[in-house]
Structure 1
Amino acid sequence: MMRQYELVERVQKYKPDANEALLNKAYVYAMQKHGQQKRASGDPYISHPLEVAAILTEMQLDESTIAVALLHDTIEDTTATRAEIDELFGEDIGALVEGLTKLKKLDLVTKKAKQAENLRKLLLAISDDVRVLLVKLADRLHNMRTLEHMREDKRMRISEETMDIYAPLAGRMGMQDMRDELEDLSFRNLNPEAYETITRRLAELSERNEGLIRKIEDELRDLLIANGITEAVVKGRQKKPYSIFKKMQSKSLSFEQLSDVYGFRLIVNDIPACYRALGIVHTRWRVVPGRFKDYISTPKQNDYRSIHTTIVGPSRQRIELQIRTRRMHEIAEYGIAAHALYKDGEGDGDPLSRETNAYSWLRHTIEALAEGDNPEEFLEHTKLELFQDQVFCFTPKGKLIALPRGATPIDFAYAVHTNVGDTCVGAKINGRIMPLVTRLSNGDEVEIIRSGVQVPPAAWEEIVVTGKARAAIRRATRMAIRKQYGGLGYRILERTFERAGKQFSREALKPVLHRLGHKDSEDVIATVGRGELSSLDVLRAVFPDYQDERVTVKPASDEGWFNVRSVTGMAFRVPGHEKGRADDPDAGILPIRGLSGDINVGFAACGAVPGDRIIGIMGDDKQITIYPIQASALQKFDDQPERWIDVRWDLDEANKTRFTARVLLNALNEPGTLARVAQTIATQDVNIKTLNMVRIATDFTEMAIDLEVWDLRQLNQLLAQLKDLDCIATVKRVYD
C-alpha cells in the first residue's frame, strides 16, 4: 500500500508549490473515517482511495483533485457529511465528493430504461465539473485492477458496465491509455478463454522475436538523427490483447494473419518536425497503401492529434507508426486531464474548458437531454456517439464535420444544423448528385440541397446513424403527426361539444390545461385526434357538471350481425361477427358510442381491438367502416372531413367477443420456430385466425398473422412475449 509521504512526493514532483497541508489533512481525515473498514481482498479500505489518488498523480492533476480522490468514499461509506467536508476542505471539494457519492449509487447494468436514466444522471453529474469524471475513471480503474477478489457474477456485471460505459467514455475524453487498460481488464473477465489464448500467443511471439522491438527502435532513431532530427523519442510497443481480439473479430482474421502486432511512436519537438520525420520514413521504407491518416490537420473530436502511417520497415516487418509532438503525446495519453485549465484552474475560473473538443462533445450530449427525448432514445443516442469510429467531411465553404463511420448525407445535414436536416431533399458529394443513402468517406465535400416545403420522412430514421439525426427526425415526425391530427381533434371536439349542447373553443381549454396534463390547447386537440385523450374527458374538464345520460336499448340479434349501441341509445348492426347466444340476448352486443341513425357498421381489414383509438368513415353506401387511428388507409380521407365520425368503445365485463389484429414477425428460418410462436400465442389465450409465411432471406421468414384477442392490453402482452423469443428478430403490429 502506498504511504502518505509517497503520495505527497509524487504531487510535488510535478507541482513543487503544491498545498502539502491539504493533502495531509485529506489523508488523515479519510484514514480516521474509514477506520477498520476492509476491502474484499482483506486490505485496509484506505488503500483504495490512496491508489485512486496515485493514478491521478500520473495525470499530474492538482492537489484539490488528489484530495477529492482521498475523500471520494467518505460520505457514502462512513459517518462523514457534506457539511463537515465543506467546513474542513471548502465547498468546492465538498461538491465534488458529493457528486462522486451520487455516481457511486448508480447501477448502470440494469433494464434498458433504468440504464438509460442512470446514464443521463452520470453525464449530468460530470457536466457540473469534469474532475468528477477523472476521479470516477481512476476509481473504476483501481476497482478493475483488484476485481479478482469479487464473486464471479459481480465481476461479470462490473466488467460489462466498464466495457459498455466507462471505457468508451474515457476514449471520448481522449484518455486512450486508460481506455486501453479498462478494456483489457474487462476483456479478461468477460472472455477469459480468448484473453488467455491471445496472451499466450503474444508471449510466444515476443520470445520468437526477442530484441526485434529494440532493433527497430534503434534503426528508426539512427535514421532520424542522420537526417537532422536529433531529439526524437522512439518508443515501440506490442498491442494489447483486447485490441488484437477486436481486430481479429472485425476483419475475420486469424492471429497468424495479423501483420501489425507492433506499433511505434516517434515523438518530436514541433509540428514541422512531424512532417519532416514522415518524409524521412516514407523515403526510406515502402508505405502500405491506404494506411495513412493525418490527425494533425484534422484532429479527432476528442482532441487527439497525430500522424498515422504503416510501413514495411526494418527486418521487412509491417509496423504502425504514430508521429506526434510531446504536447500531442501528453493529450493522447491523458486527454482532458492534460489541459492546464483542469490542473491549474487558470482561465475564467471554470474548470471545464470550453475550448476542447472532448468537453464540447460532452456539452452537446448534455444539451440533448433538454430536447425531451425519452430515456431509451437518449441511451441509443449516447451509445452511438461513444462507440462509432469517425469520418471527416467538409462543407462547400471548407468547414470540417466529423461523423460516425457509415454516416449518410442526412447525418451530415443534421450535423450542420437541425433546420438544414429537416429541409434536406438531396445532396451533392464531391460535385455530383448522389442518393441520400450514400455512405460518406473521409475527405468528401458535401453540399446539401434544400426545400422549404420538405418534411423529413419517418423512414429516414432507419437510414441515419447519428443520435442527433434520429432524435431530430423523431421530433419532426411527432410535430407532423400533431399537425395532421390537430384538425381531426378539433372536429371531434366540436362535434362532442355540439352533441352536449355546448360551444367549443380553444380559449375554453386554457383554464383546465393543468387538469388535462398538457401545456397548451394545441397539445390537447392533437392528443384527442390521436386517440390518446377522450373528447368526453375534455368536455367534462371544461364543464364539470355535465352528465352523460344514456338509455341502453337491447335490440334482438340477427344472423351474422352484431348490434351496436350509441350514446343516444339507438341500435346499430356490425357485420362479420358471431351472433349472440340464444339464452343470453346481451351476449351478441358490441357497444360503440358516437353514432346515430340506423346504419350498418363494419371493421377494416386490419381490424381494431378495444383500447385502440378508433375512427368511423362513412361510405358511399352509408355504411360506416371502423379503423384504428394509425391505419394508413385513413390518409385517403384527409381531404374529406365530412366523412369522419368520432366513435368510442363501450364494452362491459360481460362482453365475450374476440377482435382481429394483424401482426408481422421476422423470424429465424430454423426448425421449431413456428411451433414456439404458436405455443407463445396459445399460452396468452390468443387465437390465430390466419397465417401467411414468406421467406424474405436465406435465414429469415416473414410471418403475417391475423390474431383474435380480447383487447389491446392482451395484444401488447403477447407482442412483448414474442419479442423475448430468441428466434424472433422483429415484431410489430400492422395497420395496412
Structure 2
Amino acid sequence: MSAHPATPGSTRTPARSAPAAGAALLDGVDGSLPDYVQELERAASYLDDSQRQQLRRAWTVGASAHAGQTRKSGEPYITHPVAVARVLAEQGLDVETLIAAILHDTIEDTPVTRECLAEEFGETVAELVDGVTKLDKLQFRDRAEATAESFRKMLLAMSRDLRVILIKLADRLHNMRTLGAQSAEARQRIARETLEIYAPIAQRLGMNLIKAELQDLGFRALHPWRHAVIEKRIRTQPVVRREALVQIEANLAQRLAKEKLQHRLISRVKSPWSIYTKMRAEHKSFTQVMDVFGFRIVVRSVPDCYHALGVVHATYKPLDARFRDFIAIPKANGYQSLHTVLFGPYGSPVEVQIRTEEMDLIAEKGIAAHWSYKDGAEGPNSAQSRAHSWITGLVESQHATGSSLEFLENVKVDLFPDEVYLFTPKGDIMSLPRNSTALDFAYAVHTDVGNQAVAARVDGKLSPLRTRLGSGQRVEIITARSSTPKPQWLEFVVSGKARTAIRQQLKQIGHEDAVQLGHRMLDRALEGLDTSLDRVPQVRIDTYLAEHRFPRLEALLAEIALGNRMPSQVAQALARETPGGPERRKAVRTPRPDDRILITGAERGVISFAHCCLPIPGDEIMGYHTAGKGVVVHRMDCPNVAEYRKSPDRWVPIGWDREVSGDFAAALKIEVDNRPGALAQVAAAVADAESNIDRVEYLERDTNVAVMKFSIEVADRRHLADVIRRVRRLQVVLGVQRI
C-alpha cells in the first residue's frame, strides 16, 4: 500500500542489479545534500546532532537502494520517501519514525532486507518498515482483495506500533499531492480509496490537519470541476461578508480582553470538501452553507474554557440545543472542545469552538501530538490511548471475519464521522457510530452480552434491541443464557464489531445444527440397515473419513445435512462391514412413523422452507434432500411432491416437534371491494392478529374488485386461521384463500 504502480504518483524503472546480500547498498553517496534533503532537515530541526546524522545515514541507504528508480513524474524515486519523512517531521515525530519513512519502500522494492535494516538502524525501524510494506508477493483474485489484505496486515502492525499508520498516512498524503502523473482511471480509484478509508482513519485518530488535506485533494481528484467552482466561490466572497466577519471577531476579542482572558482568536474558513458534503447531506445551497461564521478561541486552561463560553454567550445569544461539551465527554478520537452556535448580528449563525492549547494541538495532530507534546497526553482520554483501544477492538474483530474484504467493509462502517455518546448503568461513557441500536451497544459492552441479549432498558424504559439510540441516553442490556443471535439482527446493527460477532456466531450455530441434523439423518439411514452409528466400528468410520478427506466425523455429518452427501449412500458404505449389515440381510426395514426427523424451527441454517408451498407448523410435511441447500421442507399437498416421489433416496421423513419457535412465511389471496381504504382495513386486521406483513401486491384489479396477495409471517396453522378469520369479518372482503 505504499507508492508503486498500484498507488499514486510512482512508477519505477527496474532497479539496477544489486549485490546478493544487499549489504553493499549501505555504502554512502558522495556530494552535497540535495534541496529535498535540506528541506527535511529544516523541518526536523528539533532533533539533536546525532539524530540528524542518523537521518542522513538513512537517506544515504535509501538513495543507494532506490538508485535507478524514478517516479512517473520523472523525479528520482528517493524524493518520495524523503518527502514522506518531511510530512512527519512537520508533525514533530521522533527520529525512528522519520528513518522508517525514508526507508519505507526498501524491503518491498529493493534488495535491502529486513535483517539488513535491523542491523543498521535497530529492530524498531525494521518493524515499522515491515508494517508499512505491502503483500505484493502473494497472489490475490483481484485488486480489491489485495487492498483489503494489505489493510489487514497494516492494522496488525498498527496494533504493535501506532507509528505505522502515521507513516502510511504521510505516504498517502504525498502521493495525493503528486497525483497528477497518474492516469485518469488511477486518479479516480486512488481518490475514492483516500476519501473512503485514509481520510476517515486520520479523523478517527484525531489528525485533523492531515484529514482535511486528504479530503481536499481527494475531492479535487474525484470531482475536479465541482472543486474548482466551490473554491472560486470561497475566494470571491462578497465584501459585506468579509466586513461582517471582522466586526464579529472584533466584538468577541474586545469582550474576552475585558474579562482578562489570555486567548487566541482565529476565524475558521470552511474547506471545499466540507461545504460540498454539507450541501449534499443537508440539501442546502452554497449560500446557505457559507452563511455561517466560524471562530475558534484557544485559552490557557479548562476553567478558562467555561469562562470564555460565558463571555461569548453574553456577547451574542446562543441557539437553543446547539451547545456540545466535548471536554466533559470527549469524542472517540480524543477530541476535546466546547461547541456553541450564536445568533449573529447579521442574521447568520456564528459557530464558536473553545479549547485549551493542548486540546488544540491534539485536535490538529491527534495521535501525532503524543510525540511532540508530552505533558498530560497519557490520560485515559488522550488521543493515544483512545486510538490504541479502537485498534485493539478492530484486531479482535478481524480474527472472526471470514475474509479481508468483509473486514475492510466492517472497518469502513466504524469510520463514521458522526457518533452517539451513551451511558452505561454505572455511568461510564461509550461512543458508537451514528444510528447505532441497543444491540450495537450490547456488543460494544462485550461480545457475550450481545450474543445473549434479549431486550434493553433505554432511560429506564423497556425497549426492543432494534431501538435506535441518541446521545446522552442511559442504556442497560437484558440478557438470557438461552438467547442466541438471529439472522434478522444483521438487518439493523450498524457497528462493525456487532456485525462480525453475529456472523461468527451464526456460522457456529449453523455448523452445530448441521452436525446434529446430519447425525439424525445418518442414524435413520443406518437404522434402515438394522444398525446404528454407535455400532459401526471406529476403524471403519476412520477409513471412510480418510478415503473422502474429511478431517473429522462432524465435517461428514455437516455435509450430509447440507445435501452434499446422501445419507443412504454413506450408510451403505459404513454398514458394509458391520455385523448384521446388508451382506447378511438384503431387505431394508420399512421406516416407522416415529422415525421422522422432528424440527423445532431453530434449524434455519440447514433446513429451508419451500417457496412453492410455504409450509408452516401444523401442516403435513415432507423433506427433500437438495445438494447445497440441505433439507427443503414441502407441504404434502404441494404440486411438486409428485415429482420428488420419483427420487425416494432423497426423500426425508420429517415432522414438527411439539415445541416449534419462530415465524414462518405464509401467503393469502384476498379479494376485496375496490374502494379507498380497503387495503388499509385488511392491513390493520392482519396487524391486529399479531402477524407481520412482509409484502403486498395486486394480482388483479378493475373498477369493482381488487385481488391482492399478502405475504405474512405466522407462528403456526392456528395463528394463520386467526388471521384469516379476522380478515373475513371485514365488510370490504369478498374472499380469503391461502396460497
TM-score for the superposition, normalised by structure 1? 0.71
Question: Are the counterparts in 1 of residues 455 and 479 from structure 2 also a CA contact under 8 Å?
Answer: yes
Check 1:431–1:98 CA distance in 2 against 1; reply closer, same or farther (3 A cut): closer
How far the C-alpha of 1:399 sits from its partner, in A, is 1.6
The answer for the alignment partner of 1:687 in structure 2 is: none
Q: How does 1:291-440 map to 2 (within 5 A)?
A: 291-313=322-344, 315-340=346-371, 356-440=385-469
Q: 1:449 aligns with which of 468, 474, 478?
A: 478
Q: How many residues align?
A: 594
Equivalent residues of 1:107, 1:115 under 8 A apart: no
Is this contact kept in 2: 1:61–1:342, CA < 8 A? no
2:600 corresponding residue in structure 1 = none
Of 554, 557, 563, the match for 1:525: 557
Compared with structure 1, are the counterparts of its residues 251 and 423 closer, same or farther at alpha carbon in structure 2 (3 Å cutoff)? same
- Could you tell which deviates more after superposition, 59-68 or 458-467? 458-467
* Number of the residue aligned with 2:20: none
Which residue number corresponds to residue 229 of structure 1? Answer: 261
8 Å Cα contact 1:244/1:261 also seen in 2:
no
Q: Could you list the per-position Cα deviations for residues 661-701 of structure 1 after superposition, in whole angstroms to 9, with x for gaps in the alignment?
A: x9xxxxxxxxxxxxxxxxxxxxxxxxxxxxx99379xxxxx
Contact 2:209 2:364 in 1 (8 A): yes
Cα 1:373–1:620, aligned 2, differ >3 Å: closer, same or farther? closer
Residue aligning to 2:40: 7
**8 A Cα contact 1:61 1:343, kept in partner:** no
Per-residue deviation at 1:134? Answer: 0.7
Relative to 1, partners in 2 of residues 1:538 and 1:85: Cα closer, same or farther, differing over 3 Å?
A: farther
Q: 2:427 & 2:653 partners in 1: Cα distance?
A: 46
Partner residue in 1 for 2:518? 489
Please state how far the C-alpha of 1:485 moved relative to its aligned partner: 3.6
Deviation at 1:624, TM superposition (A): 8.5
Q: Aligned partner of 1:43: which letter?
A: E
Separation in 2, partners of 1:16, 1:249: 49
1:53 alignment partner, one of 85, 88, 93: 85
SS class of match (1:253): coil
Q: Which moved more, 1:107-116 or 1:129-138?
A: 107-116
Equivalent position SS for 2:470: coil
Do the aligned partners of 1:57 and 1:66 also contact (CA within 8 Å) in 2? Answer: yes
Q: Does 1:637 align with 2:640?
A: no
Contact 2:88–2:170, Cα closer than 8 Å, also in 1: yes
Structural mapping, 1:60-139, within 5 Å: 60-102=92-134, 115-139=147-171
1:142 maps onto 2:161 in alignment: no
Partner of 1:611: 627
SS at match of 1:444: coil
Q: Which has the higher contact order (CA 8 A, sep 6+)?
A: 2
Is the aligned partner of 1:460 residue 2:462? no
- How far off its partner does 1:276 sit? 1.0
Alignment of 1:549-560 (within 5 A): none
Kindly provide the amino acid, as one letter, of the partner of residue 272 in structure 1. Answer: P
Unaligned runs of 5+ residues in structure 1 are 348-352, 551-566, 571-601, 642-661, 663-691, 697-701, 706-735
In structure 2, C-alpha distance between the alignment counterparts of 1:57 and 1:137, rounded to whole Å: 13
1:219 deviates by: 3.1
Alignment map for 1:572-611 (pairs within 5 Å) = 605=613, 611=627
Distance of 1:450 and 1:634 partners within structure 2? 37
Residue of structure 2 equivalent to 1:37: 69
Classify the secondary structure of the residue corresponding to 2:298: strand
Tell me the distance in 2 between the aligned counterparts of 1:307 and 1:141.
Answer: 29
Structure-1 residue corresponding to 2:308: 277
Inter-CA distance 523–269: structure 2 relative to 1 (3 Å threshold) = farther
Alpha carbons of 1:323 and 1:115: their partners in 2 closer, same or farther (altered >3 Å)? same
SS at 2:295 equivalent: strand
1:478 maps onto 2:479 in alignment: no
Please state whether the residue corresponding to 1:205 is helix, strand or coil. coil
Match of 1:676 in 2: none
Contact map agreement 2:154 2:164 (CA 8 A) in 1:
no
Q: 2:205 aligns with which of 173, 179, 185?
A: 173
> Kindly tell me: are residues 43 and 111 of structure 1, through their superposed partners in 2, closer, same or farther at Cα, counting changes over 3 Å?
closer
| 1:192 corresponds to 2:221 | no
Return the alpha-carbon distance in structure 2 between the equivalents of residues 275 and 149 of structure 1: 49
Tell me the equivalent position of 2:252.
220
* Contact kept? 1:260, 1:320, Cα under 8 Å: no
| 1:237-289 CA-partner distances (Å, limit 9, x unpaired) | 21100111101111111112225554221111111111111111112111122
45-54 vs 367-376, greater mean Cα deviation: 367-376
Read off the aligned partner of 1:530 and give its amino acid letter: L
Higher mean C-alpha deviation, range 506-515 or range 491-500 = 506-515
Distance 1:207 1:95, change over 3 A: farther
Aligned in 2, Cα 1:473/1:237: closer, same or farther, shift over 3 Å? same
Which region of structure 1 is more displaced relative to structure 2, 101-110 or 389-398? 101-110
Distance 1:703 1:126 in 2: 54
Q: Check the 8 A contact 1:603/1:626 in 2, yes or no.
A: no
Q: How far is 1:458 from its partner? A: 1.9
- Give the drift of 1:498: 4.7
Provide the C-alpha distance between the structure 2 equivalents of 1:703 and 1:52, rounded to a whole number of angstroms: 63
The gaps in structure 2 that reach 5 residues or longer are 1-33, 590-609, 615-622, 661-665, 667-694, 700-707, 712-738
**Contact 1:291–1:310 (CA<8 Å) still a contact in 2?**
yes
- Report the 3-state secondary structure (helix = DSSP H, G, I; strand = E; otherwise coil) of the residue aligned with 2:533: coil
Report if aligned partners of 1:423, 1:454 keep a CA contact under 8 Å in 2. yes
Summarize the Cα distance change of 1:201–1:485 in structure 2 as closer, same or farther, 3 Å threshold: same
In the TM superposition, what is the alpha-carbon distance from 1:152 to its structure 2 partner?
A: 1.0
Cα separation, 1, equivalents of 2:287 and 2:139:
40
Please give the per-residue CA displacement for 1:99-128, whole angstroms capped at 9, x wherever unaligned: 322268899995665554343233223333
